């Protein structure tokens, strides 16, 4: 839905066109860091789950806005694109990594989730590096992850209001965050392989 999002973002981009795109990238990164910290401590302070969702969507908003502002203001550059990608990867690690080490999640599930997410992003930029063009396709792009991470704390909050922390069958009990991390681990790695195949078909 990238084209639809571009139309929605345009009036916001015009309002922020005097702000340097790199500043917006850093703002997005700070929201990601705050979201990760909020996720971690939400286990002991459940209202932080709502705060986490707000911080995550703000991260996604400003992350989408920086590129749009750069193009509208004529300040698009390779250095800006580089800064954006570096901060995005650190943002992913902060949000997913702090879920992984929090009491909400089994750390082993979290490790595989981080691997899946980083490999997916790597394949997207590697396509550009080998001359195949920037690749956003696949089952789990960054926009998909942001949407899922936005809803996960809200669903976990809803589960807690019902007096439950986990869901599952018999001895297999998982928090909503563990389910999301499993999704990132499995589908993230599938997306990485899917993108690798697309790149290979383009360059061979």
Integer Cα distance of 50 and 100 in angstroms: 19
Number of domains in the chain: 1
- 34: which 2 tokens? 């705050």
Backbone angles phi, psi at 168, to 5 degrees: 160, -160
Sign of CA dihedral 37, 83, 12, 18: positive
Q: Which residue has the tokens 């997005």?
A: 28
Task: State yes or no: pLDDT of 103 exceeds 90.
Answer: yes
Mean pLDDT of 42-61: 96
For residues 38 and 10, what is the distance between their CA atoms, to the nearest angstrom?
A: 30
Q: Are 115 and 191 in contact (CB under 8 A)?
A: no
Are 39 and 98 spatial neighbours (Cβ–Cβ below 8 Å)? yes
* Model confidence at 13: pLDDT above 90: no
CB atoms within 10 A of CB 63: 23
Predicted confidence at residue 135, as pLDDT, reads 72
Strand segments, DSSP code E, in the chain are 167-169, 172-174
- Per-residue pLDDT tens over the stretch 107-146: 999 999 999 989 888 887 887 777 777 777 777 878 889 9
Residue with tokens 């698009």: 76
Report the CATH number that the domain containing residue 9 is assigned in CATH. Answer: 1.20.120.1760
- Residue 109 near residue 181 (C-beta atoms within 8 A): yes
Cβ atoms within 10 Å, residue 3: 6
Q: pTM of the full predicted structure?
A: 0.88
Question: Residue 36 pLDDT > 90, yes or no?
Answer: yes
CA distance 72 to 18: 10
pLDDT at 101: 94
Q: Which domain holds residue 191?
A: 2-203
According to the per-residue pLDDT averaged within each range, which of 122-131, 173-182, 184-193 is highest?
173-182
């Amino acid at each position: 839905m990238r084209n639809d999002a571009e139309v929605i973002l345009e009036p916001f981009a015009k309002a922020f066109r005097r702000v340097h795109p790199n500043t917006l990238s850093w703002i997005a990164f700070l929201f990601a860091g705050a979201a990760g910290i909020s996720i971690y401590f939400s286990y002991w302070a459940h209202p932080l789950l709502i705060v986490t969702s707000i911080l995550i969507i703000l991260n996604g908003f400003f992350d989408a806005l920086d590129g749009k502002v750069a193009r509208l203001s004529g300040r698009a550059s390779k250095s800006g694109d580089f800064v954006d990608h570096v901060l995005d990867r650190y943002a992913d690690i902060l949000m997913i990594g702090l879920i992984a080490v929090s009491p909400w999640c089994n750390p082993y599930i979290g490790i595989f989730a981080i691997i899946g997410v980083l490999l997916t992003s790597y394949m997207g930029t590697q396509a550009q590096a080998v001359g195949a063009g920037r690749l956003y396709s696949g089952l789990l792009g960054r926009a998909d992850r942001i949407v899922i991470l936005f809803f996960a704390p809200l669903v976990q909050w809803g589960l807690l209001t019902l007096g439950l922390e986990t869901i599952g069958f018999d001895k297999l009990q998982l928090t909503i965050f563990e389910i999301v991390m499993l999704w990132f681990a499995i589908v993230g790695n599938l997306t990485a392989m899917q993108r690798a195949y697309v790149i290979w078909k383009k360059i061979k």
